[in-house]
Structure 1
Amino acid sequence: MNTQFTEPVTRAVCANALRVLAMDAVQTANSGHPGMPMGMADIAETLWRHHLRHDPSDPAWLDRDRFVLSNGHGSMLLYALLHLSGYALPMDELKRFRQLHSRTPGHPEIGVTPGVETTTGPLGQGLANAVGMALAEKLLAQEFNRPGHTIVDHRTYVFLGDGCLMEGISHEACSLAGTWGLRKLVAFYDDNGISIDGDVAGWFTDDTPSRFEAYGWTVVRDVDGHDTQALDRAMATALDADKPVLVCCRTTIGQGSPNRAGTADVHGAPLGADEIAKTRAALGWHDEPFVIPQPVQQAWSAVARGTRLNAAWQRSFTAYAAAHPELAAEFLRRQARDAAPAPSTEAALSAAGAAAEGARAAVATRKASQDTLQFIGPATPELLGGSADLTGSNLTDWRGHRPLLGKGTGNHVHYGVREFAMSAVMNGLALHGGYRPFGGTFLAFSDYARNGIRMSSLMKLPVVYVFTHDSIGLGEDGPTHQPVEQASSLRLIPGVDVWRPGDATETVVAWREALRRVDGPSCLLLTRQALPHAGNATPRLESIGRGGYVLRRPADEQVVLLASGSELGVAIAAADLLAARGIAARIVSMPCMDVFERQEAAYRRDVIPRHLPRLAIEAGCTALWWKLVGEEGDVVGIDRFGESAPAGALFELFGITADAVADRARALVRRAAAADPASSCRPADSSALSHQES
């Protein structure tokens, strides 16, 4: 081990510290991507040592600059930066790169590593998250800054590569960033010309600078990504721009490696001991693996500078709070990641619930959702809604909303036809803090947003997705627009709460639970067609919040009908038909299977008794319902694509009518009675059945 460091601590030496840490960690793990960290080391040194405003001793400082590694496979670059800057990420964690329960996972994960702002890996989504963060900064600054008191004033920086730009989400999100004029967003493009398959010239020939100029970005072209003076000039341009900025940096992947630099071989595999030794010699680095000389460590440390910047901001905020105490309190309330809804929001939700129960009107749940927004929108300043060009169909606006158009500000976002970007931008808004974002589209198009929804759940972000036109009930638009598998598909994502309310009251509760939730996303699946109010004399608001509850519990019950959404009304009508034939049916409403399954076992058994035959009804794929009805039960649903026809004709075609459900329920009762003539599910009045049925 070399304990005497005699070389001057130049910027090149500091960048080389990043390179050696990256190649050593990947080699030790025998897994990872050393090429990008080695290629972007000089860019990282320029940004992190000379421009980034952050405090390693307080990673959650509210006015810090945000840094997003969109090309997240190069995670060792970020881990090396965090370690060297002074975050609580010791060298032992770098040695455990990609190992079980380490704080240095294969791709950056928020909540695992201090200083990581978002979970990245799926290419392009980090860039879109950064757009959301920059939008949050802009809107918060407009809302809270006052003359003489600037408490929101930071930038969002992004590293990205060819893969991020090939992904279509980059177009969606960067087009929005230009339209919104997000001048504090700065992206550094690692233009190394290499991806996993090799030289990208065979499949990526876009004129990227012109593309971004067309979006309305400032583009800094042809920057030598290994020339610190050129990088300094590019930074000066970026900091002076009045638009979002793309800095196009020509780099060599694996810079420093004598035999692997500039090739796909260094993209996603260890260099090997021999090549690492040669690289160390080429870089003039004489220390053993994972050894950073103290002078280099000191040159990298951002603790003292970060503490000063943070303390200066705290003094500014103290002055702001003295001048504007109510604004300061509201700012802090909204920045808390685990904040419950404000009392004003809870009061608005209670009023919305009372209105829905009082009206007992037949209404489409998408309209019931908008009716709820009429209450909670004005009462919830952090609510930031939107739609992917379907505002008039999703009904995501409310009276008094302020549309966000062009470079202006507002609290209702027109995302355009950009479902994927909408989901990822909302993730960025939630990550930044200060807003509770929600966005809408048709349920069938949740597939466009699906990976963003998955990332919402992976990061435990309280994003609300409003998905309308939730079944064949949308009718004539046909199978391209009729969701069949989407409800079940969303339920399969761990941590997502999928709410499919059956009337206006359940819709209010779905909103209430989504806004109360702080540890993950919620999806609200809403109808185009009007649904009857379930109409029950007993209080329902708290029962609904448990995800599943008994709506009707008759004496001498013989069968259980479970339903969600529009099929709740079908179940009620079927139960009435059964009652006329002497068969008493319990009705269980299941607005959120995910929440119901988190209830204690005793409650679940009380709601869905095992001794009774069970029939589930949902206008969608049947598979997930079998776990609730059991092998002896039955499911009425749709396991094929729909057709173009009026909604009523489609429900008839697929057997999702009161008559058809009643017939299926009678068959279940008959089968259960035949299996055990003495059981409690035997009809009370056997004369109501035919000789064979009894």
Structure 2
Amino acid sequence: MNINQKAVNALRVLSADQVQKANSGHPGLPLGAAPAAYELWANHMNHNPKNPNWENRDRFILSAGHGSALIYSLLHMFGYEGVTIEELKKFRQFGSLTPGHPEYRHTKGIEATTGPLGAGVSTAVGMAIAEAHLAEVFNKENYPVVDHYTFAMTGDGCLMEGVSYEALSLAGTLKLDKFIILYDSNNITIEGDTDFAFTEDVEARFKAFGYQVIVVKDGNDLEAISKAIEEAKAEKNKPSIIINKTQIGFGCPAKVGKASAHGEPLGAENVQAFRECLGWESQNEFEISDDIYNHYSELAENGIQKENEWNEMFAAYTKEYPEMKKLWDEYFADVDMSKIMDSKEYWEFENKSMATRATSGTIINKLKDLYPNLVGGSADLAPSNKSEMKDAGFFSPQNRGGRNIHFGVREMGMTAITSGIYLHGGLKPFCATFFVFSDFMKPMIRLAALMGLPVTYVLTHDSIGVGEDGPTHEPVEQLAMLRSIPNINVFRPADYTETAVAWATAMQSKDRPTALVLTRQNLPQLKGSSQDAFKGAYILEEASNKENIDLIIMASGSEVELAVGAKEELEKAGKSVRVVSVPCIDLFEDQDCAYKEEILPSSVRTRLAVEAGEPMPWYKYVGFEGDVVGMTTFGASAPAEELFKHFGFTVENVVNKAKALLK
């Protein structure tokens, strides 16, 4: 057995041992896909285990994240920091670096959190977009400082999920030639043969998408795999998919080709038989011979050399083009918030009624000029979302430098791609659609929050104010849904100042996404609004007698105007009323107890919340003695003004609700 075959089998053995020791996991894919993974990492992928964050490394995404034992075996054998044999032994255990599915920012060498099928390969499309855009911005003749590939390893399940259709179709349209999919085609899912539910012609589908399609008939043939990868790299006009025909559970006589190999340990006896079938010398778990470790060390040195060569080129590049080095540092550094906070123009606005979607559009175009690495786009709704950056061009095969992206009608794919753009590094991305379609985005928003990605979602047409389009397009429960996701700031601003704060918060974030929930209809500029909105909630209008407050009215977005109007009427009746604007509950929850007590003193138990959405998030603040003016049903199709009146979003109804509480 030559050293390459030993190296492949080492990945198989370590993967099987991890799953067996944990008595949990998915050994099938690692056993079948190990040859393709080895050939790619060993001979075709530029990566440096000593510097996993090297900017010009090739990216590898294990989209079939259930096969995580395979990538942990690769990281261990190549010598990535922290991924020791002891960590492999703690596979799927609390606090280990080898969790059940790969997690970004948890284990060095993991480029994205994967597991929900289709998400990883869709995220990889964003990485390929980022590479192409940055290459256009930075590369000079003889200095290809941005020049790398994005590889995604997928399985049958990934290609069944709708999100992959969305993203991979766009990748074909955009002709992302440095995007290469390695499809582990073993024709098995949890329930059995894929013929039960998946008989489509994958080759034909990807040819229709505009891909180069390469088939490797024997997934154990390293030479054929190598040739396929080189052929994919040689294609300069389209992305590629390598359909690698494998056997799930390869090497385990009792499991090979069977659905039971997918998601359960092989079993002690089968592990022994598996080792014998492979011709593996040792029956001891997690035991790898020195010659194999030495081989991987030599391969890792190749990666170190590749980065050293790039560093030499980059040094010469920066000497010849010092202005590009300055720009590079700006792209790849943390956002310089002084550009916003010290900008008089950023905070200035016309004192006229504006929809917050329009306000956001104005702010986006101010940010565009402050931050050259701001990129983004909409799901075919840019004119309605007001999300286009003027005079910034559209990213396309003909214009890789365009900063706007036509995502097409692909909300979930768009959201995954936006995550991938950020994960690549160097760019600050946003995406946009109607708020009601955040339902399509939610799985990928959740993953972004889990990864701690500071991406921005522009979500317009935020309530029954959508009007004539009717209940299918009127979001009523989506605010509660988004707010229920951990680690995300959900902003529903009431005017220009609060929208500017929302965007500033999004730009300065380092570890959580931001959702901007914006109106279709015009709203007034509020006299009391201020940068206190950075704290999530603040006193917009103080009570006439702040020492003896009768009622606190809380509201967000378009309903803050109603709260102000109701206060005026109640104060005329002799009541002392404080109006609290709450543009971001998440940020308010981050404040200390003293600030929360200052805004919502516990001594004032008579409270009313007003928001054109599901009332659930407000009960924590109104308590048993308060009330909420919210939406407990779906909307209807009618002009917005009529709907707001019908569902009780009027000053008169807010006053009546308040009077009922004050009796």
In structure 1, the partner of 2:569 is 577
CA drift of 1:300 comes to 1.8
In structure 1, the partner of 2:61 is 68
The question of whether the paired residues in 1 share the 8 Å contact of 2:249 and 2:255 is answered with yes
Distance in 2 (CA, whole Å) between partners of 1:334 and 1:119 is: 23
In structure 2, the partner of 1:689 is none
Name the amino acid aligned to 1:653. Answer: H
| Pairing partner for 1:606 from 598, 603, 608 | 598
Deviation per residue, 1:668-689 (Å, 9 max, x gap): 122xxxxxxxxxxxxxxxxxxx
Deviation per residue, 1:515-544 (Å, 9 max, x gap): 1111110000000000111113xxx54311
In structure 1, the partner of 2:496 is 504
Pairing 1:182–2:171 present: no
In structure 1, the partner of 2:636 is 643
Distance in 2 (CA, whole Å) between partners of 1:155 and 1:253 is: 27
| Pairing partner for 1:408 from 382, 399, 418 | 399
In structure 2, the partner of 1:491 is 483
The question of whether the paired residues in 2 share the 8 Å contact of 1:179 and 1:407 is answered with no
Deviation per residue, 1:445-502 (Å, 9 max, x gap): 0000100100110000010000000000110101100000001100000001000001
Distance in 2 (CA, whole Å) between partners of 1:197 and 1:188 is: 23
In structure 1, the partner of 2:384 is 393
In structure 1, the partner of 2:204 is 210
In structure 1, the partner of 2:223 is 229
Q: Structure 1: any 5+ residue segments left out of the alignment?
A: 1-7, 671-694
* 1:597-636 equivalence runs, <5 A: 597-612=589-604, 613-636=606-629
The question of whether the paired residues in 2 share the 8 Å contact of 1:570 and 1:657 is answered with yes
Distance in 2 (CA, whole Å) between partners of 1:346 and 1:413 is: 28
3-state SS, counterpart of residue 557 of structure 2: coil
In structure 2, the partner of 1:252 is 247
Name the amino acid aligned to 2:458. Answer: V
Deviation per residue, 1:157-199 (Å, 9 max, x gap): 1100000000011110011111111111111101100000000
| Pairing partner for 1:169 from 163, 171, 184 | 163
Distance in 2 (CA, whole Å) between partners of 1:404 and 1:40 is: 34
Distance in 1 (CA, whole Å) between partners of 2:390 and 2:27 is: 53
In structure 2, the partner of 1:91 is 85
* 1:257-406 equivalence runs, <5 A: 257-287=252-282, 288-301=284-297, 302-336=299-333, 339-341=334-336, 343-348=338-343, 350-353=344-347, 355-356=348-349, 359-406=350-397
| Pairing partner for 2:106 from 96, 104, 112 | 112
* 1:22-171 equivalence runs, <5 A: 22-88=15-81, 89-171=83-165
Name the amino acid aligned to 1:43. Answer: A
CA drift of 1:13 comes to 1.4
CA drift of 1:221 comes to 2.3
3-state SS, counterpart of residue 107 of structure 2: coil
Distance in 2 (CA, whole Å) between partners of 1:443 and 1:153 is: 37
| Pairing partner for 1:566 from 552, 558, 566 | 558
**How many percent of aligned residue pairs carry the same amino acid?**
44
Pairing 1:241–2:241 present: no
CA drift of 1:666 comes to 1.4
3-state SS, counterpart of residue 221 of structure 1: strand
In structure 2, the partner of 1:544 is 533
3-state SS, counterpart of residue 591 of structure 1: coil
Name the amino acid aligned to 1:207. Answer: D
The question of whether the paired residues in 2 share the 8 Å contact of 1:35 and 1:267 is answered with yes
Name the amino acid aligned to 1:189. Answer: Y
| Pairing partner for 1:596 from 588, 594, 615 | 588
3-state SS, counterpart of residue 403 of structure 1: coil
The question of whether the paired residues in 2 share the 8 Å contact of 1:550 and 1:589 is answered with yes
CA drift of 1:345 comes to 4.6
3-state SS, counterpart of residue 249 of structure 1: strand
Distance in 1 (CA, whole Å) between partners of 2:579 and 2:500 is: 20
CA drift of 1:202 comes to 1.2
Pairing 1:417–2:417 present: no
Name the amino acid aligned to 1:299. Answer: H
The question of whether the paired residues in 2 share the 8 Å contact of 1:531 and 1:566 is answered with yes
| Pairing partner for 1:553 from 518, 522, 542 | 542
The question of whether the paired residues in 1 share the 8 Å contact of 2:31 and 2:251 is answered with yes
Distance in 2 (CA, whole Å) between partners of 1:542 and 1:250 is: 58
Distance in 2 (CA, whole Å) between partners of 1:252 and 1:404 is: 39
Name the amino acid aligned to 1:360. Answer: N
Distance in 1 (CA, whole Å) between partners of 2:257 and 2:652 is: 69
3-state SS, counterpart of residue 385 of structure 1: strand
Distance in 2 (CA, whole Å) between partners of 1:369 and 1:198 is: 49
Distance 1:222 1:59, change over 3 A: closer
Name the amino acid aligned to 1:388. Answer: A
Pairing 1:481–2:473 present: yes
| Pairing partner for 1:458 from 446, 450, 467 | 450
The question of whether the paired residues in 2 share the 8 Å contact of 1:382 and 1:435 is answered with yes
3-state SS, counterpart of residue 498 of structure 1: strand
CA drift of 1:352 comes to 2.4
3-state SS, counterpart of residue 610 of structure 1: coil
Which of 1 and 2 has greater Rg? 1
In structure 1, the partner of 2:189 is 195
Distance in 2 (CA, whole Å) between partners of 1:164 and 1:100 is: 27
Deviation per residue, 1:272-326 (Å, 9 max, x gap): 0111111111111021110110001111223311211111111111111111122
The question of whether the paired residues in 2 share the 8 Å contact of 1:430 and 1:461 is answered with yes
Distance in 2 (CA, whole Å) between partners of 1:248 and 1:385 is: 32
Q: For the aligned residues, what is the CA RMSD?
A: 1.2
CA drift of 1:343 comes to 4.2
TM-score, normalization by structure 1: 0.93
Name the amino acid aligned to 2:290. Answer: Q
The question of whether the paired residues in 2 share the 8 Å contact of 1:499 and 1:524 is answered with yes
Distance in 2 (CA, whole Å) between partners of 1:65 and 1:587 is: 53
CA drift of 1:407 comes to 4.5
Distance in 2 (CA, whole Å) between partners of 1:110 and 1:320 is: 31
In structure 2, the partner of 1:17 is 10
Deviation per residue, 1:230-282 (Å, 9 max, x gap): 11221221111121110001100011011110000110000101111111111
3-state SS, counterpart of residue 535 of structure 2: coil
Name the amino acid aligned to 1:552. Answer: E
The question of whether the paired residues in 2 share the 8 Å contact of 1:9 and 1:299 is answered with no
Distance in 1 (CA, whole Å) between partners of 2:399 and 2:200 is: 30
3-state SS, counterpart of residue 260 of structure 1: coil
Distance in 2 (CA, whole Å) between partners of 1:352 and 1:44 is: 49
In structure 2, the partner of 1:521 is 513
CA drift of 1:85 comes to 0.9
Name the amino acid aligned to 2:551. Answer: V
Larger mean Cα displacement after TM superposition, 437-446 or 553-562: 553-562
CA drift of 1:340 comes to 2.6
- How many residues are aligned here? 654
3-state SS, counterpart of residue 524 of structure 1: strand
Distance in 2 (CA, whole Å) between partners of 1:617 and 1:271 is: 57
